[in-house]
Amino acid sequence: MDSRRLLRTSATALAAAGLVLSGCSGGSDAAAPRTAAPAPSSAPEAPKLKKYYEQRLKWRDCGVEGFQCATLRVPLDYAKPDGEEIELAVSRARATGPGKRLGSLLVNPGGPGGSAVGYLQGYAGIGYPAPVRARYDMVAVDPRGVARSEPVECLTGPQMDAYTQVDQTPDDTAEVNALSAAFKDFAAGCEKKSGKVLPHVSTVETARDMDVLRAVLDDGKLTYVGASYGTFLGATYAELFPDRVGRLVLDGAMDPSLSALDLNRDQTAGFETAFRAFAADCVRKPDCPLGTGSVAAAGEAMKKFFRDVDARPVPTGESRKLGESLATTGVIAAMYDEGAWPQLREALAQAMGGEGSGLLALADSYYERETDGTYANLMSANAAVNCLDLPPAYRDAAAAEKAVPSFEKASPVFGAGLAWAALNCTYWPTPPTGRPHRITAEGAAPILVVGTTRDPATPYRWARSLAGQLSSGTLLTYEGDGHTAYGRGSDCIDTAINAYLLEGTPPADGKRCS
């Protein structure tokens, strides 16, 4: 992820976006047990892990001005610490001063599947508030399975092009079978190309990698800012290592107690909330392609557009046409940041006039597709982590079909497509190792949880829930639009988070900003 992306906050937004459109945020249509996450298989001080905790990083120039890079060694399987090891990509920007150095600040943009190193070098290491960068070494590690760290690979570029165009609102048995076949082929590709690492990319294992990095950086406590899925990663770290929690900011929080079915349905409702905010803004403008009437009428116009391009995809100036799946992805991509709303209005107007390149560009930015037809591994890693972290949302395609009405109730605009998208993990080749459960992290230092009231991807209720679960959780609320809050223009939010990172004192629980 880097500053070339179309959306202003894409390094966070697009990473989180994969959660629902890849259809793989785990769970079951049956009630899932609320069991605790697995405890570390052996203590960090155990002799067989000592070589990892005591390794020394060899920092080198990255080829990116102001940043150094290194390689961190960790066991492939923490249950077999004397077995095979893997290498993780690490990068840092040294504290700029003035002021006493406070240690390392680890950042993660979410996903799962977002490149933390790309996020650091493209945004956090140069765009985080100067007082924070002055006092901390800004650090990132690409999680296992992601980008530069043993990346999960599944499909070729042309195969991904075909996969992203499969109809996700099947109208008959043949289309249901085609969608199921696409998910099966994707899963089979992952197993064929990445079978070694596929069982070992869970959030628990990544959290354990973070603790190795903390020790290697010579930090007694972990200081961390995680966005979106990065909040689940941070909360999991706190659960495993509560005594090593320093200052943790969990921005755009996920709720670890929910099954995949509930996660996907809640997120679908979040996208509806964001769409209604976009529509309310759009209909006040004379150039709104959804009309200048009510929000409800705009929603109907949006649904009609999706039906139209499902029946008759529009040209884009290249071999790919804009059908319903890519059009929906393009619209959803713009829901993450209200700064993209003008771009979406223009793209929708073009597509309704028979020219789909604008929406296709938004969809490509979401999927991290380059102009040469290659894809970053965001979507592959996203599925691999999600399908390992929780059981699948559905047992079979019939269960997905049965769930459609409840998704359409959550979102009349996006519900059907997002209900079917959650079928992906049903066919995953590696059994899940995690279960939904409450995270309390008893004994941890104060943890700051941040929620945005009209967040499309991580609904505000999730932030309230996580803050309530954590024994030391403090909730900070941003009353506004978009995904996540830190660094998005609210002085109130930024001041509160900066004070916590620099002084260690969280804002009063329940503080609200606009």
The pair of three-digit structure tokens given for residue 358, joined into one six-digit string: 């604008």
DSSP β-ladder status, 60-61 and 222-227:
unpaired
DSSP β-ladder status, 85-93 and 136-141:
antiparallel
Q: Which amino acid is present at 207? A: A
The Cα angle at residue 139 between residues 137 and 126, in degrees rounded to 5: 75
Where in the sequence numbering do the catalytic residues fall?
Answer: 228, 455, 483
Cα–Cα distance for residue pair 332/270, rounded to 1 Å: 11
The Cα angle at residue 84 between residues 82 and 88, in degrees rounded to 5: 110
Whether a cis peptide bond, with omega within 30° of 0, leads into 98 is yes
> Which ranges in 247-323 belong to alpha helices (H)?
260-282, 295-311
Cα–Cα distance for residue pair 204/297, rounded to 1 Å: 45
Indicate the burial class of 217 (C-beta count within 10 angstroms; 0-12, 13-18, 19 or more): middle
3-state SS class at 502 = helix
H or E segment at 342? helix 341-352
Cα–Cα distance for residue pair 452/459, rounded to 1 Å: 8
Cα–Cα distance for residue pair 140/117, rounded to 1 Å: 5
CB atoms within 10 A of CB 284: 9
Q: Which of 105, 142, 186, 152 is nearest to 11 (CA)?
A: 142
Cα–Cα distance for residue pair 236/440, rounded to 1 Å: 10
Cα–Cα distance for residue pair 202/58, rounded to 1 Å: 27
CA 270 to chain centre: 14
Q: What is the DSSP string of 71-94?
A: EEEEES-TTSTTS-EEEEEEEEE-
Contact in structure between 79 and 48 (CB atoms under 8 Å): no
Cα-Cα-Cα-Cα dihedral sign, residues 381, 382, 383, 388: positive
Q: Which of 206, 212, 237, 220 is nearest to 49 (CA)?
A: 212
DSSP β-ladder status, 511-513 and 245-251:
unpaired
Instruction: Tell me which DSSP letter residue 424 carries.
Output: G
